[in-house]
Structures are given as C-alpha cells and as structure tokens.
C-alpha cells in the first residue's frame, strides 16, 4: 500500500471544516470560563460580612435611632444637582433643640459596597445642609438607600433614592 492510496483528498487536516467545527465547542467553553473567572475577580459583591453577629446585635440600636428621630419630628428632603454630585438636604423638625452644624448622609448601593459613599454635610445660613459627593452618581445606576444621621449617631433618617429623579425624601422609619 502506498501513501497516496491512504489519502482520500489532497487537503491537509487543518484545511478540512470538521476538525474546526469539533474544536469550536470546547474552545468556546474555555473562553466563557475565562470571562466568568475574570468577572468574579473584578466584581466583589461584598455581600458577606465578617462580623455578621455584631451587625445583627446592632439592629436594636438602629431601631432606637429611628425612634429618636420620630420623637424629634425629623423629616428631610434631599435635592441633587443636575450634575448629580452636589446636594442639598432640607431638614424639618418640631423640637426646640437646634440642628447640629453638620450631619452625614450615607448613599448605599443595594449590592455593591464599592459604590457606597458617606457625604459630610454642613449647615448653611439658610437652614439647609449642603455637600458634594466624592463621585457623581450616574443616572443608569439604579436605586440607592439613604441614611442621614447626626455626628453622635443619636438619630437617623432613612429613605430610598431612584437615580432617575433628582430628589428623595427621608423619614424616621424605613419604607416598606
């Protein structure tokens, strides 16, 4: 038997379509696996806390801060600038105690801890707290949980902000 009689066609194997078709499936799986691994490494979801037990115990303290805000009759409205970086917070209260000279507003992303921000706000002469975000919030980024509290963390107002709008309301008890 000669070498020429074993070949049925004159093309080498890499010029035939079937080996490439058979190798395409496993090659796509390898590429998809590499993409999945890179996404898993890049996007830390931050959902698991190391101190989950301590955080669970702190829930009662949070409820106490909400009750204190309700006793003081605190309500707030947040207005974001067109640039989505500057903000003004108008706080209403029915107590005779003056408002603190500064407060902190936490903007918390529901699933990505890396996008959370705490913004220090200072009281201007007109009874409004003003501040600037470290990074502007893009409109398409969804919802944020808001928490406004005094520096001593004795009271807290909470709310939710949809980034499609430029305003949000805060109250003493979580929205359900």
* H/E element, 147: strand 143-149
pTM of the predicted model, to two decimals? 0.63
- Name residues whose C-beta falls within 8 Å of residue 95's C-beta, 6 or more positions apart in sequence: 72, 73
Binning the chain into helix, strand and coil, the percentages to the nearest 5 are 35, 30, 40
Residue 5 forms part of a structural domain? no
Residue 38: per-residue pLDDT: 92
What is d(CA 135, CA 155) in angstroms, rounded to the nearest whole number?
A: 26
What is d(CA 157, CA 135) in angstroms, rounded to the nearest whole number?
A: 22
* 22 lies in the same domain as 84: no
Cα 102 to chain centroid, rounded: 24
Q: Are 91 and 102 in contact (CB under 8 A)?
A: no
Domain CATH number, residue 86: 2.60.40
Residue 68 forms part of a structural domain? yes
* 34 lies in the same domain as 63: no
Token pair, residue 148, equals 């406004």
* 79 lies in the same domain as 150: yes
Token pair, residue 176, equals 């359900």
Residue 3 forms part of a structural domain? no
* 160 lies in the same domain as 96: yes
Residue 175 forms part of a structural domain? no
Q: Are 130 and 145 in contact (CB under 8 A)?
A: no
* 101 lies in the same domain as 28: no
pLDDT, tens digit, 9 for 90 and up, residues 87-99: 888 888 777 777 8
Residue 71: per-residue pLDDT: 81
Q: Are 161 and 117 in contact (CB under 8 A)?
A: no
Q: 145 lies in which domain range?
A: 52-170
Token pair, residue 120, equals 């220090």
Q: In the chain, how many domains are there?
A: 2
* 24 lies in the same domain as 63: no
Q: Which residues of the chain are modeled with pLDDT < 50?
A: 175-176
Residue 176: per-residue pLDDT: 44
């Amino acid at each position: 038997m000669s070498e020429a009689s074993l070949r049925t066609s004159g093309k080498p194997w890499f010029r035939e379509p079937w080996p490439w078709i058979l190798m395409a499936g496993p090659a796509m799986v390898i590429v998809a696996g590499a993409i999945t691994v890179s996404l898993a490494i890049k996007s830390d979801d931050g959902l698991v806390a190391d101190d989950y037990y301590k955080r669970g115990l702190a829930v009662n303290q949070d409820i106490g801060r909400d009750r204190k805000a309700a006793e003081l009759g605190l309500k707030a409205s947040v207005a974001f600038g067109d640039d989505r970086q500057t903000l003004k917070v108008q706080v209403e209260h029915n107590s005779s105690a003056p408002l603190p000279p500064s407060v902190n507003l936490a903007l918390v992303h529901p699933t990505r801890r890396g996008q959370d921000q705490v913004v220090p706000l200072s009281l201007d002469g007109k009874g409004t707290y003003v501040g600037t975000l470290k990074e502007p919030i893009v409109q398409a980024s969804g919802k944020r949980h808001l928490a406004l509290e005094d520096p001593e963390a004795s009271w807290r107002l909470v709310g939710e902000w949809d980034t499609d709008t430029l305003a949000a309301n805060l109250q003493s008890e979580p929205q359900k």
